[in-house]
Structure 1
């Protein structure tokens, strides 16, 4: 995709061709997952995000980092990571350790803090599976040395005249929209963002500088959602009805994503407590009196083996797509009992079990190759 950018009179003439902005999706082009966009202008190159596709495994889950005739990874000047979700950051250790990328990498302080613990679990989970070849804990640790941090509204010149300013994106703690300026051309890359404040974060900033180009996340671009209050009421009613009926409720959640308000992961909660000043005014006011992330009725489990499955309960488990891990194990154990309920908490990516069950199948194929009937 190419677009002519507005240029100052001192720049090269139109016939030269260098006034064209070239935007190349290495992932997330007409798909959800493995977000990775390359922007090239005036001899400079910027990478926005570098994630994996949750519906695939191993190298198939990666963006198209190698063998792309339009992009030479070794010439990319800087990679800007918007937030800590796997589909936006999980390929960064691979990028830094197994490609010819030589540029700088930036993310916000909270994103870097959560990135390491989140990807440590991801790297461990790949051992003995098709994902084993991506990277290990050593490559992840090495990536932390390369990653630099930037504050919201801080403008940095990161390489050869490339200026970068991050704005708050809402969505999750530390999520940023990046405004990039190269030779007078301004591009805003939103990543995942939310204009509506939620229960703990303010909504996305409106940049005070008008961009020439906007690359915008559009997963729900053609969807209409009920008001939050109505959605919460429906959610709570379904949970209460299931528990009163003697059933179990499974909430497959994004690691450190939709589940952050539930206190699912202690490490993540410590990060949220550290960066409370990035929360909305309600949370900051409550924090003056007590810790809003200390939940009396939520039990943190070291592993699925520590879960005592003896009766009605609500279980939050990763991943949100039900493709593997604790959420998949619980779903397979509970799906044949009609008293139980699974509530899909996130966008169901193509190729995941979550997407499959939204289609209303009569049965599903377990990871061990058996068919189980859905009640």
Structure 2
């Protein structure tokens, strides 16, 4: 079990730091997941007796309870509001567990597109979990050995807890238990949002995963100009590294893909079923339309889930950028998500594996499912190629395959991999499969790079910055870069490392009622008449009844 521990000082203390601070004026931040790691994002913020939970994901490199955030380190029954930024598994997949199997009784919010896709994703995750569970005789529980997947929740849990989730729209403000929340577009994926959280006059902006890149279908992350923020909680996925310009990445990607096809191979693109996959589909469709010489090579998108979720994409076209909206309103007979050169593939049973092709298959981390089955099938042939386009989490096969190992372990069983030794059963000692296929990476992960993240942090100009969602090395480099600017206090807590951030602020009461009619801030008053002018700094005492409501004071 992890142990909560205090976080070291984020910067050299100032003279003011010697003054005592009322504990009620401290913002408490606790990462239950996503601290010095990418995966199982879940953070707690607490201020003035109000508690907000940010995201509820799982870690893609682990299974069962090991994949959860450290929920046993905090009483979820005290959480007032739970905010989900987007539908990806590492940000939302433990929500059914929280709603069905913990003492949590607060209110849950996400955007309309997020909830629509979340439903399908969670149901699919349960089915995949059931499909790839080892037989009862297996006692293995490691995520990396193909052992049993301990089921965290059932499909019934997903459906029964859906009514507990309230939907909200971008740029609208909602209040619950004295907590004001406003979502803003975050880019990244359809429906992804940042949250502005306001508690007792303190403003906290949580970015979640965000992107400021102009891609082919999403609106970049945007917040109102001049927005006042006291504390910024931001991702640090890529640390200080900088992406290659978008146009150059697209050219390099297509050169790699066509090169593999040219040598008679098959191309495997592991992707999340929803998110970056849609961006890649737009890139491939555009290229195939402009290059008829490649149209003899089929492009497959292997995901029954994606076909369901494409209905959501077609429904929320008005939430996308001008590139998509203009295609809808151009009068064309086909919509922006109707593809001519891409075929949907419901299962590998319907796949005629003959000749060169491109296959987009989920999951993106290559842990199991269609993408892992195809990797194990195609890896021994040097003509074939794997192209990684998303961020790969430590401990997953997607990360390991980029190291170009000589062999990879089989986890899919003889049913999906004809190359396994005859008679071998799932759960027995693994067969290793030779890896002779090529492996290349072209990042299209919809996350800000180091330069974009720094520019956004400086634009927001919050005095306190908390870094999350980054491997330790990347996070430390970003922290050092920001501290070097000398403008921010910067924290980068590990999981279960409690941070307490003081926010000294004057307490202001609004004078109301009959007292307001006899009081003027510029001089002493008697019966409404000014007796004498009051010099600036001259103390003045008034008396009345002080009333507090949701941290607002009235006299």
1:215-254 matches, within 5 Å, as 215-254=233-272
Counterpart Cα distance in 1 of 2:31 and 2:150: 25
User: Residues 248-287 of structure 1, C-alpha deviation per residue, up to 9 Å, x if partnerless?
Assistant: 0000001202102328422121111111111111211111
Q: 1:83 is matched with which residue?
A: 86
For the residue of structure 2 that corresponds to 1:111, the secondary structure is: helix
Q: 1:22 is matched with which residue?
A: 28
Q: Aligned pair 1:372/2:433, yes or no?
A: yes
Counterpart Cα distance in 1 of 2:21 and 2:115: 43
Bigger CA radius of gyration:
2
For the residue of structure 2 that corresponds to 1:343, the secondary structure is: strand
1:136-155 matches, within 5 Å, as 136-155=154-173
Q: 1:64 is matched with which residue?
A: 70
Cα deviation, residue 21, structure 1: 0.5
For the residue of structure 1 that corresponds to 2:60, the secondary structure is: coil
User: Residues 11-68 of structure 1, C-alpha deviation per residue, up to 9 Å, x if partnerless?
Assistant: xx954311100110000000000000110111011011000100111111111112x1
Counterpart Cα distance in 1 of 2:222 and 2:46: 25
Q: 1:133 is matched with which residue?
A: 151
| Worse-superposed segment, 149-158 or 305-314 | 305-314
For the residue of structure 2 that corresponds to 1:312, the secondary structure is: coil
Q: Aligned pair 1:293/2:337, yes or no?
A: yes
User: Residues 57-92 of structure 1, C-alpha deviation per residue, up to 9 Å, x if partnerless?
Assistant: 1111111112x1xx2110001110000110000000
Q: 1:21–1:341: structure 2 CA closer, same or farther, 3 Å change rule? A: same
Q: 1:322 is matched with which residue?
A: 366
Counterpart Cα distance in 2 of 1:147 and 1:131: 27
Q: 1:281 is matched with which residue?
A: 322
User: Residues 206-237 of structure 1, C-alpha deviation per residue, up to 9 Å, x if partnerless?
Assistant: 33422111110110122221101000001001
Q: Answer whether contact 2:76 2:103 (CA < 8 A) is retained.
A: yes
Q: Answer whether contact 1:85 1:255 (CA < 8 A) is retained.
A: no
Q: 1:26–1:207: structure 2 CA closer, same or farther, 3 Å change rule? A: farther
Cα deviation, residue 305, structure 1: 1.7
| Worse-superposed segment, 363-372 or 101-110 | 363-372
Q: Answer whether contact 1:119 1:140 (CA < 8 A) is retained.
A: yes
Q: Answer whether contact 1:170 1:197 (CA < 8 A) is retained.
A: no
Counterpart Cα distance in 1 of 2:219 and 2:21: 45
Q: 1:268 is matched with which residue?
A: 309
Counterpart Cα distance in 2 of 1:204 and 1:133: 35
1:73 to 71, 76, 82: 76
Q: 1:37 is matched with which residue?
A: 43
1:113 to 102, 111, 116: 116
Counterpart Cα distance in 2 of 1:164 and 1:229: 36
Q: 1:10 is matched with which residue?
A: none
Q: 1:190 is matched with which residue?
A: 207
| Worse-superposed segment, 18-27 or 282-291 | 282-291
Name the TM-score, length of structure 1 as normaliser: 0.94
Q: Answer whether contact 2:33 2:70 (CA < 8 A) is retained.
A: yes
Q: Answer whether contact 1:124 1:136 (CA < 8 A) is retained.
A: no
Note the residue ranges of structure 2 that are not aligned, 5 or more in a row: 1-5, 11-18, 135-147, 283-300, 414-429, 437-555
Counterpart Cα distance in 1 of 2:20 and 2:162: 42
Q: 1:165 is matched with which residue?
A: 182
Note the residue ranges of structure 1 that are not aligned, 5 or more in a row: 5-12
Q: 2:448 is matched with which residue?
A: none
Q: Answer whether contact 2:85 2:194 (CA < 8 A) is retained.
A: yes
Q: Answer whether contact 2:56 2:95 (CA < 8 A) is retained.
A: yes
For the residue of structure 2 that corresponds to 1:300, the secondary structure is: strand
Between the two proteins, the alignment pairs up a number of residues equal to 363
Q: 1:7 is matched with which residue?
A: none
Q: Answer whether contact 1:59 1:131 (CA < 8 A) is retained.
A: no
Cα deviation, residue 360, structure 1: 2.3
User: What value does the CA root-mean-square deviation take over the aligned residues?
Assistant: 1.6
Counterpart Cα distance in 1 of 2:348 and 2:35: 35
Name the TM-score, length of structure 2 as normaliser: 0.64
Cα deviation, residue 156, structure 1: 0.4
Counterpart Cα distance in 2 of 1:14 and 1:141: 49
Cα deviation, residue 350, structure 1: 0.8
Q: 1:94 is matched with which residue?
A: 97
Q: Answer whether contact 2:39 2:90 (CA < 8 A) is retained.
A: yes
Q: Answer whether contact 1:251 1:316 (CA < 8 A) is retained.
A: yes
